Amino acid sequence: MNFRRLSVSRHWMLLWGAIVAGLTPPAALQAQPASPQVVDSLRREVEALREQVDSLRQALARQVPPAAAADQLTALRAAAAAAAAAVDTAAGAQRQGGAPQEFVGRERSLQALNPEISVNTDILAFANSEDLDHDNFVPREFEISFQAPLDPYSRAKIFVSHHTEGGTPTPFVQPEPIGAGEEEHAEGEAATEVEEGYLQWVNLPAGLGLSVGKLRQRFGTWNRWHRHALPGQSLPLPYTVFLGDEGLAQTGASLYWLVPVHGLGTYEIWFDVMRSGNERLFADSRKPNFLGHVNAFWELSPATYFEIGLSGTAGRREEDTLAYDVQLLSAEAAFNWRPPERALYQELMLRGAFLLNRRTAVAPAVDGGTSVGAFASIEYKLSQRWIAGLRYDYVENPDVAAEDASLIAPTLTWWQSEWVRIRAEYDILRGPRSTTRTFLLQFTFAMGPHKHETY
């Protein structure tokens, strides 16, 4: 037997035993938490020891007596088991409160469960020809919005507005007293209310969508927009006269349908059932009213599109002892030109609408009456930040026959950024008794994801 080779092999086994003993952490260190890198390193050492054990087993089988080989193999196995126990102890300490575990998955944190919160502010500075030094500054609106997806099927939106009336063109003296519906606020009076708050189901079968709560209804296009998102400082005169300064916003249910037609344009239908809550249109009535809107959109070229919308709402108007069946109808059209290669710097938008307000008396002896309104507007983007606009409005007084009014309103808007906008506007309002001229500056700014958006 070659005792020299056997001695060398034994020396190698003793050396590996020392290495294994050195890899075994002391008892004081086993209680300390180990990092994931240390745990992986210990696992690799254990695998290496196992390979060495297999190699030595084969060498000893050829050169070492069975009893001595068994003793040496037992010692190596004990050392390997001790190293494996150290790995398990370190991993267990890490799981039971040692070093914090690093999350690399896609789990949602608690912060992600919070709704998106935004604030929009609308401030007016103006001078009126009838009273140049009175109420020249109006903090018209501070709006806080909360929006969040609730689950894969629904989302919720709530808009709380603190607003002060002022600055909106008022061509006619409103009849008194004000009814018991949603309150009309006097000039300069402040109020806080929920402007919108609704639950919306999206991606329902067959292209359907459903909203329940208080919402700005799809009567035309402009009524859906909040005031800080309008291309002028107020809604057109037909809307403010027939529906009030805030437009048509009531509580109920709205059903939406994207008509499954392909290649021939895009067609959308809305149908609403609401509790009457618009003071200007329905007075004191609390009976249900109904609204329908059909919208058709065609892309004429990559740079142009054309849109037509038809709207109608009907309900009961009750004031004192009088009652009327009311219908408000609207037909509108829009043309947009925006070359794709210069979309940030050049755009032309034309809009127009015709409205018909008809009251039919329930009592035969009472005369209802019909009044009409119309508006047309043009906007042209001069550059990335500057937009020039012009709007003309006409409306008849639904409460007093033979009274009408018109408005010419040129505007110049500068977008400092997508969060800050400054607009100059000059309103020439011709009423039944006089003509009023108003120059105003409108400052709007937004904080958060909900900016001056249109729908």
Q: What is the pLDDT of residues 65-120, one digit of tens each?
A: 556 656 767 777 787 777 777 666 655 555 555 555 555 555 556 667 789 999 99
pLDDT of residue 203: 83
Place of tokens 């916003």: 249
Sequence-distant (6+) residues with CB within 8 A of 391 are 231, 232, 236, 375, 376, 377, 378, 407, 408, 409, 411
Sequence-distant (6+) residues with CB within 8 A of 407 are 169, 171, 236, 237, 391, 392, 393, 427, 428, 429, 430
Residues 448 and 117: beta-carbon distance below 8 Å:
yes
pLDDT of residue 455: 60
Find how far residue 128's CA is from the centre of its chain: 36
Q: What is the pLDDT of residues 200-253, one digit of tens each?
A: 998 899 989 999 999 999 999 999 999 899 999 999 999 999 999 889 999 999
Looking at the predicted structure, is the pLDDT value of residue 8 above 80? no
Place of tokens 């059932």: 273
Higher pLDDT, 115 or 185: 115
Q: Where are the domains of the chain?
A: 3-95, 116-447
pLDDT of residue 179: 43
Residue 176 pLDDT class (50, 70, 90 cuts): low
pLDDT of residue 256: 96
pLDDT of residue 30: 44
Looking at the predicted structure, is the pLDDT value of residue 28 above 50? no
Query: Average pLDDT of 18-45?
Result: 56
Looking at the predicted structure, is the pLDDT value of residue 21 above 60? no
Question: What are 197's strand-pairing partners?
Answer: 158, 214
Please give the Cα distance from 202 to 304 (Å, whole number).
Answer: 28
Looking at the predicted structure, is the pLDDT value of residue 59 above 80? no
DSSP state of 112: G
Q: May I ask the CATH class of domain 116-447?
A: mainly beta
Residue 183 pLDDT class (50, 70, 90 cuts): very low
Q: What is the pLDDT of residues 445-455, one digit of tens each?
A: 999 887 766 66
DSSP state of 387: E
Q: What is the pLDDT of residues 117-171, one digit of tens each?
A: 999 999 999 898 887 777 789 999 999 999 999 998 999 999 999 999 887 888 9
pLDDT of residue 129: 85
Long-range contacts (CB closer than 8 Å, 24 or more residues apart) made by 363-372? 363/322, 363/323, 366/322, 366/324, 368/324, 369/398, 369/401, 371/242, 371/395, 371/396, 371/397, 371/398, 372/396
Q: Which of 329, 323, 348 is nearest to 338 (CA)?
A: 348
pLDDT of residue 397: 95
pLDDT of residue 436: 94
Least confident of 56-65, 106-115, 356-365: 56-65
Tell me what the pLDDT averaged over the chain comes to.
Answer: 83
